[in-house]
Amino acid sequence: MLDYVTDKVQDESRQGEAFAPFAGDLNHYKKRFYIESYGCQMNFADSEIVASILHNEGFGATRNIGEADLIFINTCSIREKAEQTIRKRLTEFRKLKVQKKDMLVGVLGCMAERLKSKFLEEEKLVDIVVGPDAYRSLPGLVAEAEGGQKAVNVLLSREETYADISPVRIDSNGVSAFVSIMRGCNNMCSFCVVPFTRGRERSRDPDSIIKECRDLFEQGYKEVTLLGQNVDSYYYQPAVDSPQSAVSGPITFSKLLERVALISPILRVRFSTSHPKDITDDVLHTMAKYENICKYIHLPVQSGSTRILQLMNRTYTREWYMAKVDRIRQIMPDCGISSDIITGFCTEEEQDHNDTLDIMEYSRYDFSYMFFYSERPGTLAQKRYKDDIPEEVKKKRLVEIVDAQNRLSLASNKKDIGKSFKVLIEGDSKRSEKNWTGRTSQNKVIVFPKENYELKKGDYVTVRVKDCTQATLLGEIA
Ligand code: 5AD
Ligand code: SF4
């Protein structure tokens, strides 16, 4: 249990997922590639961009690693454990490469960016190293590697948003899709390696975002999740000479959200992730105004102690965060709230830990991702503070935090018993084809019998909650 929670990554179920093949005969592609992705949703979205770039150059995707000419691994550096998982996977690729000499192995994403050409020295059988802003150069790098050179591009960019690239969505459930709206992060949370691996923040052209969302809707998708490291600081200033500039001025996140919501009332809109300091009343009012903007906010607190928050450089205090939670509940009483929590940060004392437990209680999180602190090379915390909390203490505190969250999740689900929710059907439930699984606006998973209704995935249906577990609501069609 502990191992699980200690490296609980966002969307656990997808870690290491491989890309599905394109339809049709693989033989007509010049090369076959295989991609496996780790880490955050942004990485999964990036793999879809990489697949699109490779596909346009005549490469075909395969899910069978044995038939691949190119193996890519899209990597995560957020915690040490994530990097260990990836290194283990690379040793497995190495064995394959010994058997198949002309196969190439490429490392993409945050670990590529963090380690740069050091990767090639450390992992002798890696041929290609590409950072998150350099995916357009992949076809050229593959050619270089085929010519026997070690191919590296880890240049970060201030502009790259891949705005014009249509991600390939072979692996999705056909109902919900992720749309990247910005890249990078300008916050300098002292524990976080992301600003170093993903570079400066930049926002994608809103017209390309709207077009992508509209195309998805026309293809039958019913839900888009707008993705960025810190979506609330989305800001796009149209070029001075563009006709758009005169009409609309700069586009903030709330304006963007509204434009996406207006595509269709039956297209649900979600977003992730928010930084508490940046989520504005404008955003909250826009959420409240449109029924199809889901009433759910992922609002990572990281710690409940003002002293620790300061060391983390989160730029808010405990009270400020609590006031933000109040504000959300005031504007949207039915809004779901979830969080990320780091336990055992440098100098954390029992009192700080209790403050975290207390703020969890106050915020009544429906759900949290909980981690113990993992020191990352190059971060401000690594340079300034000592990682001084013993492993056993971190683990003990993490267990307490997980227990508290389990209680809160159960209490929140129990409160829903007897209520009815509009649910977007995502597909068969994992356990039985006789049941549907879907989500409420508040992002809670709900499972219910299909009965004899003529429904299909992508449909909306009203479901009454009859029972629950800590993780799932159980209902029946109302
Ligand atoms: N150690 C532990 N957790 C971390 N996170 C980010 N950096 C670290 C780290 N060094 C967590 C934060 C963030 C989430 C994506 O990962 O909680 O919100
Ligand atoms: Fe990391 Fe903080 Fe940026 Fe999130 S907001 S990616 S935690 S630096």
* Cα–Cα distance measured from residue 230 to residue 300, given in angstroms and rounded to the nearest whole number: 11
> Average per-residue pLDDT in the chain?
92
Point out the ligand nearest to the CA of residue 76: 1
pLDDT of residue 16: 75
Average pLDDT over residues 116-128: 86
Cα-Cα-Cα-Cα dihedral of 293, 428, 340, 40, to 10°?
-90
Which residues face 387 on adjacent strands?
A: none
Point out the ligand nearest to the CA of residue 185: 2
Tell which one of 340, 341, 346, 368 to mutate to probe ligand 1, the residue whose CB is within 8 A of the most ligand atoms. 340
pTM: 0.93
Query: Which residue's CA is minimally distant from atom 4 of ligand 2?
Result: 229
* Cα–Cα distance measured from residue 276 to residue 325, given in angstroms and rounded to the nearest whole number: 9
Q: Which atom of ligand 1 is least distant from the CA of 192?
A: 7
For the purposes of burial, counting CB atoms within 10 Å of the CB of 95, is it exposed (0-12), middle (13-18) or buried (19 or more)?
exposed
Tell which one of 273, 342, 379, 402 to mutate to probe ligand 1, the residue whose CB is within 8 A of the most ligand atoms. 342
For the purposes of burial, counting CB atoms within 10 Å of the CB of 441, is it exposed (0-12), middle (13-18) or buried (19 or more)?
buried
Query: Which residue's CA is minimally distant from atom 7 of ligand 1?
Result: 192
Q: Which atom of ligand 2 is least distant from the CA of 188?
A: 8
Q: How does residue 21 score in pLDDT terms, banded at 50, 70 and 90?
A: low
List the one residue out of 254, 214, 224 whose CA is nearest residue 236: 254
* Cα–Cα distance measured from residue 282 to residue 384, given in angstroms and rounded to the nearest whole number: 36
Domains and CATH numbers, the chain: 2-153 (3.40.50.12160), 176-415 (3.80.30.20), 420-477 (2.40.50.140)
What's the gap in Å between 168 CA and the centre of ligand 1? Answer: 28
Q: How does residue 169 score in pLDDT terms, banded at 50, 70 and 90?
A: confident
Length of the chain: 478
**pLDDT > 90: percent of the chain:** 84
What DSSP letter does each residue of 329-350 carry, written as one string?
Answer: HHH-TT-EEEEEEEES-TT--H
List the one residue out of 60, 56, 47, 42 whose CA is nearest residue 17: 47
pLDDT at 14 over 80: no
Q: What are the tens digits of pLDDT across the range 263-311?
A: 999 999 999 999 999 999 999 999 999 999 999 999 999 999 999 999 9
Q: What are the tens digits of pLDDT across the range 36-65?
A: 999 999 999 999 999 999 999 999 999 889
Q: Tokens 């965060």, residue?
A: 321
Q: Is 399 left (phi over 0), alpha (psi -120 to 50) or beta?
A: alpha
What's the gap in Å between 373 CA and the centre of ligand 2? Answer: 14
pLDDT of residue 228: 96
Q: What are the tens digits of pLDDT across the range 385-411?
A: 999 999 999 999 999 999 999 999 999
List the one residue out of 310, 390, 311 whose CA is nearest residue 344: 390
User: Which residues have C-beta atoms less than 6 Å from ligand 1?
Assistant: 78-79, 191-192, 300, 302, 340, 342, 371, 373-374, 376
Q: How does residue 13 score in pLDDT terms, banded at 50, 70 and 90?
A: low
